[in-house]
Amino acid sequence: MSQRVVELEVLRYNPETDSEPHFQRYSVSCEDEWVVLDALNRVKETIDPTLSYRWSCHMAVCGSCGMMINGEPKLGCKSFLRDYEGVIRVEPLAHFPIERDLVTVIDDFIGKLKRVKPYLIPKHEKPLTEGEYLQTPAELKKFKQYTMCINCMLCYAACPEYGLIPKFIGPAAISLAHRYNQDSRDGGRDERQEEIATTEGVWECSFTGACSEVCPEHVDPASALQQVKIKSTVDWYTEHLMPWVKK
Amino acid sequence: METIRTDVAIIGAGGAGLRAAIALAESDPQLRIALVSKVYPMRSHTCAAEGGAAGVIKPDDSLDHHFNDTVGGGDWLCDQDAVEYLVQEAPRELIQLEHWGCPWSREANGSVAVRPFGGMKKQRTWFAADKSGFHILHTLFQTSLQFPSIERFDEYYATDLIVDDGRCQGFTAIEMRSGQMKRFHAGAVIIAGGGAGRMFPFTTNGAIKTGDGMALAYRAGVPLKDMEFVQYHPTGLPNTGTLLTEACRGEGGVLLNKNGRRFLQDYGMGPETPLGKPVLKTMELGPRDRVSQAFWHEQKKGNTIATRWGDCMLLDMRHLGEKKINERLPLVRDMSTSYLGIDPVTDPVPVRPVVHYMMGGIHTDIRAATPLAGLFAAGECACVSINGANRLGSNSLTELLVFGRRAGLSAREYVRSGPRAVNEAALVAQAAAAQARIRSLFEKTGGKESVAGVRKEMMTTMEQNAGIYRTAEGLSEACVKLSELRRRYAQVELTDKTNVYNTDLLQALELGSMLDCAEAVAASAAARKESRGAHQRLDFVDRDDVNFLRHSLAYYHAKEPPRIDYRDVVITKSQPGVRDYSGDHK
């Protein structure tokens, strides 16, 4: 197996002992095929047990290990060392407060997610004894990509608007609201629009598309936001010009 | 120490914990529910389940078929009353998830689609492409957000159960963000803490699966049942251990040895079926224990392929074609391509068996109740047991739903069955003792051991001695080594002595959990002098129903190895028979 020594420059911050964040260098022997997370694990096991970061699945599905790698929001478990040359700089996700080292405080997202009502509000109640709602593959396809969000927060770290205006509900939460709005079983769009078709909602988005570029699951939040904008524009016109028409 | 008072506290917020919380919130909105987890709910390992969840839905299937497949698959070590309950509740639970929005894959007419799975006689595995567990977890998590009575405590690590007057009345937990210990005072506690695969070095399990829930109950005197049964999934990526779902074979993928032979036909799972036309319950759709064991024999015969990550067999999916692979197995393609550099569309993928699931766990009854009053358990950390000696793929997601809900309802019943006298002083004293234990670990100086060092030795021991095939010699070596490691664990000194998000402390505590679980595995395996399901002994090669048609129960001892006792299996309608995976074409 071929090995190489990787130079990591990791942002360190411990609120109990540090007045401000600083970088620490580690030289660590790695296998060629490893990801950045493997390198961090090697550091923690063999060099510095105090280094703190979140991780679990190592297969890009639990969403724990979002971090900035050479300035870009990435999953540590899906960022291959072979794609980097020279020193690799690892920092906590941008736009979130640092709890410690690479661990960020994500309370803001957790609160926003709850606000957008990301759960099915059934169009028609159906008792369980009557079986499943029918949903064709075409109907499923309308929202399936938006269900793939792993809540990894890379899109928030990439979003210039969120960096400037923290009240912005942001890409992942709006995409998840949109996911339910697009679901043929759902009838809760009006309730969700109250949260997302607002200034703090989609209208804060300036459509840079950065969220979609960094999304590791190809959710394409930017398209969700634009669709919500269009729908809410149609809603506005319908409401003001044709008040007799039901949405 | 701050006290958090609640009616029911749930430890673990994966599939089982969330399902329990929702069942409680729906059935009794007045109850206060504390959902406590060492990670955010969506990080829980349920998210990594790929293939799907079993439940009878199609007209050609029946509850009896599901029952018989499960009991036979478990080599008759399942409690059959629990299996009856599982198969009967399964369709309702899967439909319930559908009503909550789970994006199940569909037939053209809009009904839910099912796929074939190993050891199942009929197609009954509901799936959402190959991210079924992920979608189940997120559907449950998102659904849970609408219930105001569910209060979450994300990133709290539970350290000790509080037991007084013969009842579980709460626990202590460390808030990771502050490093502060809190006391949860609860009328009932549900443990849904997941499995313990990380005690092995090569596993599909995420970093968080360290047996904490099992160890919590075990140390409080609740026995761990059938811990010797550790499932190896046949098809893991050889370098990372990443799971390639059994659905690869359900969709028609085949397993080859180095000569290109579909070798399962040489191990009682033949004759060979036509390529790309999988036949249920035979060849590549045999059960996981048999397939992993066949690999071991091929390895002994020199029929495997040497790779730099160890000996492998080949999982060939090329004949499925790009369209089907993209539609049904997109994650598999992505994982294999990115982590191994092999695209299953164009090349066979080298794979090897990998530790995947604990059949054993906290001893519970059909109500999800443990022998300790006020304590319930569900999901992988529990052993009801519906999995017996070998779990069938796609039964575990169903299990966490059915018994997660059951645990919630049972806890409610218990809490509502009357107020119980509380000796506050005794509870406070226990919490203080738990805090003192953590503090002594935290403050210790002059220790000679490191977390990473002891952990590595534990993993090596487990892999060498408690793997697919076992011997008295190897298991006895494991028992001696683990008991030594438990002693040395007391000498672990932390490097990190600060409070905020201290993962050095967290990993030390997790290591303590794993060591306790590992010792229960080794001791139970040494005592079971027969071969059954996933527990195969080279020195006792046959199943022995006279002496071992029984569950093992491991009881914790602080300084000694566990005491092993037994309990009869519940048989309702299926007498032990021969497991036949030779298909219908004998």
What are the pLDDT digits (tens) for B121-135? 999 999 999 999 999
**Phi and psi based region of residue B166 (left: phi greater than 0; alpha: psi -120 to 50; beta: remaining):** left
Look at phi and psi of residue A105 and say left if phi exceeds 0, alpha if psi is from -120 to 50, else beta.
beta
B538/B472 Cα distance (integer angstroms): 9
Contact yes or no for A186 and B101 at CB 8 A: yes
Q: What is the pLDDT of residue A207?
A: 87
Tell whether A4 lies on the interface with B, counting CB pairs under 8 A.
no
Name chain A contacts of B242, Cβ cutoff 8 Å.
58-59
Residue listed under structure tokens 């970061």: A53
Q: Is the pLDDT of residue B173 over 60?
A: yes
pLDDT average, residue stretch B288-312: 97
Helix residue ranges per DSSP H, B380-423: 395-416
Is pLDDT of B120 > 50? yes
CA distance B451 to B449: 7
User: Looking at the partner chain, which of A15, A48, A56 has a beta carbon nearest the beta carbon of B45?
Assistant: A56
A106 contacts on B by Cβ (under 8 Å): 40
Helix H, strand E, coil C: the string for B224-239 is EECCCCEEEEEEECCC
* A34 at interface of B, judged by CB pairs closer than 8 A: no
The CA-CA-CA angle for residues B144, B147, B150, to 5°, reads: 80
The closest CB to that of A49, out of B103, B499, B504, belongs to B504
Q: Taking every pair of C-alpha atoms in chain A, what is the biggest distance, in angstroms? A: 71
Residue B96 has its nearest CB partner, among A105, A110, A128, at A128
Determine, for residues A61 and B48 on separate chains, whether the beta-carbon distance falls below 8 Å. Answer: yes
Q: What confidence tens digit (pLDDT) does each residue in B319-357 have?
A: 999 999 999 999 999 999 999 999 999 999 999 999 999
Bridge partners, A10 (sequence order): A24, A90
> Residue B143, SS3?
helix
Cβ neighbours of residue B405 under 8 Å, at least 6 residues apart? B19, B20, B22, B23, B89, B93
Active-site residue flag, B233: yes
Tell me whether residues B495 and A78 touch, CB distance under 8 A. Answer: no
CB pairs under 8 A between A and B: 152
Q: Is the distance from CB of B482 to CB of B518 less than 8 angstroms? A: yes
Which of B42, B100, B111 has its CB closest to that of A120?
A: B100
- The string of pLDDT tens digits covering residues B557-576 is 999 999 999 999 999 999 99
B143·A132 Cβ contact <8 A = no
Question: For an interface test with B, which of A56, A107, A109, A178 has the most B Cβ atoms less than 10 Å from its Cβ?
Answer: A56
pLDDT grade, residue B372 (50/70/90)? very high
CB contact under 8 A, B98 and A132: yes
From chain B, pick out residues whose CB is under 8 angstroms from the CB of A136: 106, 108-110
Cα separation, A170 vs A167, whole angstroms: 8
Q: What is the mean pLDDT of chain A?
A: 95
| Chain A residues inside the 8 Å CB shell of B496 | 49-50
Contacting A residues, span 188-217, partner chain B, CB-CB under 8 Å: none
CA distances B417 to A167, B26, B158, B188, B311, Å, are 46, 18, 26, 11, 56
Residues B400, B53 contacting (CB under 8 angstroms): no
Distance (Å, rounded) from C-alpha A123 to C-alpha A165?
34
Confidence of residue A1 (pLDDT cuts 50, 70, 90): low
Q: If you average pLDDT over residues B391-414, what whole number do you get?
A: 98
Q: Smallest CA–CA separation between A57 and chain B, in Å?
A: 4
Among B43, B108, B496, whose Cβ lies nearest the Cβ of A63?
A: B43
DSSP chain A: --EEEEEEEEEE--TTT-SS-EEEEEEEEEETT-BHHHHHHHHHHHT-TT-------SSSSS---EEEETTEEEEGGG-BGGG--SPEEEEPPTTS-EEETTEE--HHHHHHHHHT--S--BSS---GGG-PPP--HHHHHHHHGGGG-----HHHHH-HHHHH-TTS--HHHHHHHHHHHT-TTB--HHHHHHHHSSTTTGGG-----HHHHH-TT---HHHHHHHHHHHHHHHHHHHHH-TTS--
Q: How confident is the model at residue B196 (pLDDT cuts 50, 70, 90)?
A: very high
Q: Rounded to a whole number, what is the distance in angstroms from the first to the last CA of chain A?
A: 62
The residue extents of the domains of chain A are 3-104, 107-241
Determine whether B363 is an active site residue: no
Q: With CA atoms as reference, report the closest residue to B172 among B550, B538, B484, B438.
A: B438
- The CA-based angle A21-A23-A24, given to 5 degrees, is 130
B43, B198, B249, B412: the catalytic one is B249
B307, pLDDT greater than 80: yes
Residues counted in chain A: 247
Cα–Cα separations (whole angstroms), residue B352 to A126, B182, B276, B331, B334: 45, 43, 21, 18, 18
Residues 109-148 in A contacting B (C-alpha not used; CB under 8 Å) = 110, 113-114, 117-120, 122, 126, 128, 131-137, 139-140, 143-144, 147-148
Nearest CA in chain B to A111: B145
Q: Specify the pTM.
A: 0.97
Please say if the pLDDT value at position B466 is more than 90.
yes
- Tokens, residue B14: 């994966």
Nearest CB to A126 within list B99, B135, B339: B99
Q: Which ipTM was obtained for this model?
A: 0.97
The b-or-e profile of A11-30 (16+ CB within 10 A means b, else e) is: bbbbeeeeeeeeeeebebeb
Grade residue B584 by pLDDT with cuts at 50, 70 and 90: low
Per-residue pLDDT band at B586 (split at 50, 70, 90): very low
Return the minimum-mean-pLDDT range out of A204-213, B181-190, B373-382. A204-213
How far CA B509 is from CA of A55, B160, B360, B489, B516, in Å, comes to 17, 11, 21, 10, 11
B3 vs A241: CA distance, rounded Å = 57
Q: Does A17 touch chain B (CB under 8 A)?
A: yes
CATH of A3-104, one of 3.30.470.10, 2.30.130.10, 3.10.20.30, 3.90.226.10: 3.10.20.30
Confidence at B409, pLDDT banded by 50, 70, 90 = very high
CB of A87 within 8 A of CB of A7? yes
Assign residue B153 a region: left if phi > 0, alpha if psi is -120 to 50, beta otherwise? beta
CB contact under 8 A, A56 and B239: no
Question: β-pairing, B310-316 with B305-307?
Answer: antiparallel
- Residue B207 to residue B513: CA distance in whole angstroms: 13
**Average pLDDT of chain B, as a whole number:** 97
Rounded Cα–Cα distance for residues B460 and B465 (Å): 8
Q: Which of B54, B120, B118 is nearest to B87 (CA)?
A: B54
Domains of chain B (ranges plus CATH)? Answer: 2-231+357-416 (3.50.50.60), 233-355 (3.90.700.10), 424-568 (1.20.58.100)
Strand partners, A72: A69
Residues A150, B92: C-beta atoms closer than 8 Å: no
CB B509 within 8 A of CB B365: no
What residue has token string 């960094």?
A: A214
Q: Which sign does the torsion angle of CA B287, B292, B295, B296 carry?
A: negative
What is the radius of gyration, based on Cα positions, of chain A?
Answer: 21
Residue type, B473: E
Average pLDDT over residues B291-304: 97
3-state secondary structure at position B131: coil
Q: How far is A87 from chain B (nearest CA, A)?
A: 22
Query: Which chain A residue has its CA at the smallest distance from B496's CA?
Result: A50
Q: Which of B22, B39, B40, B100 to mutate to test the interface with A (most CBs of A within 10 A)?
A: B40
Inter-chain CB proximity A140 and B39 less than 8 Å: no
Give the model confidence (pLDDT) of B413-463 as tens digits: 999 998 999 999 999 999 999 999 999 999 999 989 999 999 999 999 999
- B24 and B16 in contact (C-beta within 8 Å)? no
pLDDT of A11-55, one tens digit each? 999 999 999 999 999 999 999 999 999 999 999 999 999 999 999
Contact B242 A46 (CB under 8 A): no
Query: pLDDT grade, residue B42 (50/70/90)?
Result: very high
Fold of the domain built from segment(s) A107-241: Fumarate Reductase Iron-sulfur Protein; Chain B, domain 2 (1.10.1060)
CB A171 within 8 A of CB A225: yes
Per annotation, catalytic residue among B233, B290, B356, B406: B233
ω into residue A97 within 30 of 0, thus cis?
no
Which chain B residue lies closest to A143 (C-alpha atoms)?
B103
